[in-house]
Amino acid sequence: MPLTDMPEFAGTILQEFGSRGTTRVDTPVIQPAAPFLDMAGEDLRRRIFLTENERGDSLCLRPEFTIPVCLRHIETATGTPKRYAYLGEVFRQRREGSNEFYQAGIEDLGDPAVAAADARAIADAQAVLARLLPGRRLSVTLGDQGVFEAVVHALGLPAGWRKRLIHAFGDADHIEQLLLKLASPQNGSGLEPQVATLLASGDERALIAHIDKTMQETGYSTNASRSPTEIAQRLKEKLTLAETRLDGAALLLLREFLSLELPLSEASAALSGFADAAGLRLGDAVSRFDERVAALANLGVDLEGVVYRAAFGRPLDYYTGLVFEIAMEGQSAILAGGGRFDRLLTLLGAETHIPAVGFSLWLDRIETARSAP
């Protein structure tokens, strides 16, 4: 997998990063695989190059920088707020281009001013691209996982369905499949008749006893998997998911929300109008959205040039709020992308909550855009 030479504009990127109060860091090319397999999302998991060390530990070639930078921050016990910058190789199986390519970016950790930090990430990504691509018109697409989660919670779905929908956020085909299942539930979900009868009776003790007996008769070890009690709970959840139906009005509301696509200058009013008309209480999600819009305007970002798309997400599981991507106007190649990942550092082992937002630049795509007529 021959790596192409580092683009000549890499120095310009580092200069831009340095002027923004960042500290440049590097991380090992060989990384523990578990954090990426657990937290990075299905799309990235399929593209990772896996290997093992002599002890059998699962390792991988670095597929992105966010998780390694966060792990480094935790290991070095560095205080916050802290802005890290990186530029280096990442390794992914890709349908187009080389499997080894350069990424650069900024990870903004620990800033309690969430709206301002979100706006700064978008503005910084735009500004760096504007310098690298002078005279080119850029288009920004923005989504918000927090708003989507608030809508899903407000509809009153069972926890299992909320989890499924939130996990699928940004994947239009997967969301559509789930909505079709919610519109037409399947009774019983293919359960064994005796199990289905015990579930319907509500006799949890008898269900657990039946599962325990079956496991003993088949030699199925509880040490290697769930206990009978855990299996019973999972079966109850499975039945609830299979039999849950979202009524027609609520289904229409969810589809209406997912269809929202408009300039960011109009998005706050549209979200408030949607919530009021639907009678949904979206809590702080809309106010946080409004604060971010105001922060972007304060930084001089043209809100007419940013499109808010309610269904837009990015294929990484660790995002929690803002998500965005930037491309050249009229082009599909994503030049920069990022978002907020407030839960990630805690999941990686941080002892305290650390709010975080960041973005990455795809240098090979930027190089192609620079050479285009």
pLDDT band for 179, please (50, 70, 90 cuts): confident
Positive/negative CA dihedral, 239, 241, 246, 250: positive
The string of pLDDT tens digits covering residues 37-93 is 888 877 788 889 998 888 888 999 999 999 999 999 999 988 999 999 999 999 998
Query: CB–CB of 103/85 below 8 Å?
Result: no
Does pLDDT of 196 surpass 90? no
Does pLDDT of 220 surpass 70? no
| pLDDT at residue 315, rounded to an integer | 77
Taking the C-alpha atoms of residue 62 and residue 313, their distance in angstroms, rounded to an integer, is 23
Does pLDDT of 246 surpass 70? no
8-state DSSP, 41: -
Give the CATH fold of the 10-151+261-371 domain. Answer: BirA Bifunctional Protein; domain 2 (3.30.930)
- 3-state secondary structure at position 274: helix
Does pLDDT of 273 surpass 60? yes
| pLDDT at residue 223, rounded to an integer | 47
Average pLDDT over residues 139-154: 95
Query: CB–CB of 98/335 below 8 Å?
Result: no
| pLDDT at residue 156, rounded to an integer | 82
- 3-state secondary structure at position 39: helix
Residue 308's beta-bridge partner residues? 142, 262
Does pLDDT of 33 surpass 50? yes
Average pLDDT over residues 342-352: 94
Q: Name the more confident of 119 and 213.
A: 119
- For every residue of 129-176, DSSP letters joined together read HHHHSTT--EEEEEEEHHHHHHHHHHTT--HHHHHHHHHTTT-HHHHH
pLDDT band for 240, please (50, 70, 90 cuts): low
| pLDDT at residue 242, rounded to an integer | 59
Does pLDDT of 153 surpass 70? yes
pTM of the full predicted structure?
A: 0.83
- Extents of the domains making up the chain: 10-151+261-371, 193-243
Name the token pair of 24. Answer: 């440049």
Q: What are phi and psi of 24, to 5 degrees?
A: -75, 135
Range with the poorest average pLDDT among 166-175, 185-194, 334-343: 185-194
Does pLDDT of 244 surpass 70? no
Distances (CA, A) of 80 to 109, 110, 190, 350: 6, 5, 51, 12
- 3-state secondary structure at position 7: coil
| pLDDT at residue 1, rounded to an integer | 36
Quick one: what percent of the chain has pLDDT higher than 90?
63
The string of pLDDT tens digits covering residues 292-327 is 999 999 999 999 999 999 999 987 888 999 999 999
| pLDDT at residue 237, rounded to an integer | 62
Average pLDDT over residues 139-150: 96
Average pLDDT over residues 97-108: 92
The amino acid occupying position 159 is A
Taking the C-alpha atoms of residue 66 and residue 341, their distance in angstroms, rounded to an integer, is 10
Does pLDDT of 128 surpass 80? yes
Does pLDDT of 2 surpass 50? no
